Amino acid sequence: MPVLGQKKLLGADDIRRAVARLAHEVVEHNHGVDELVLVGLQTRGVPLARRLQERIREFEGATVPVGELDIGLYRDDVHQRAPRALNPTSIPVDISNRTVILVDDVLYTGRTARAALDALIDLGRPRAIQLVCLIDRGHRELPIRPNYVGKNIPTSRHEKVAVRLEEVDDVDEVVLIQPPGDES
Partner 1 sequence: MTLQLINRGPNGVHIQPRRGRRHVLDLDDFSVEEVETVLETATRMKDVLQRPIKKVPTLRGKTLVTLFYEASTRTRVGFEVAAKALGADTVSVAAASSSVTKGESLIDTIRTLQALGADFVVMRHHQAGAPYVVAEEVASSVINAGDGWHAHPTQALLDLFTIRERLGRIGGLRVAIIGDILHSRVARSNLWGLTLMGADVVLCGPPTMLPAPSFCAAGLPWQLQRTYLLDEALDGADVVMVLRMQLERQTGGLFPSLREYVRTYALTEERLSKAKPGALVMHPGPMNEGVEIDPKVARGVQSAIEAQVTNGVAVRMALLYLLSGLPA
- Give kind and range of the element (H or E) at residue 59: helix 45-60
**Cβ distance to partner 1 smaller for residue 109 or 147:** 109
Closest CB 72 distance from partner 1, rounded Å: 8
Q: Which is nearer to partner 1, 128 or 168 (CB)?
A: 168
Q: Which is nearer to partner 1, 33 or 74 (CB)?
A: 74
| Helix 12-29 vs helix 45-60: crossing angle, to nearest 10 | 60
Give the footprint of partner 1 on this chain (CB under 8 A). 42-44, 46, 70, 72-75, 78-90, 104-109, 111-112, 118-119, 122-124, 160, 162-163, 168
Shortest Å distance, C-beta 89 to partner 1: 6
Interstrand relation of 128-136 and 160-164 (parallel, antiparallel or unpaired): unpaired
Q: How far is the CB of 119 from partner 1 (least distance, A)?
A: 8
Asked if 61 and 89 count as a contact pair (C-beta separation under 8 A), the reply is: no
Cis geometry, peptide bond prior to residue 43 (ω within 30 degrees of 0): yes
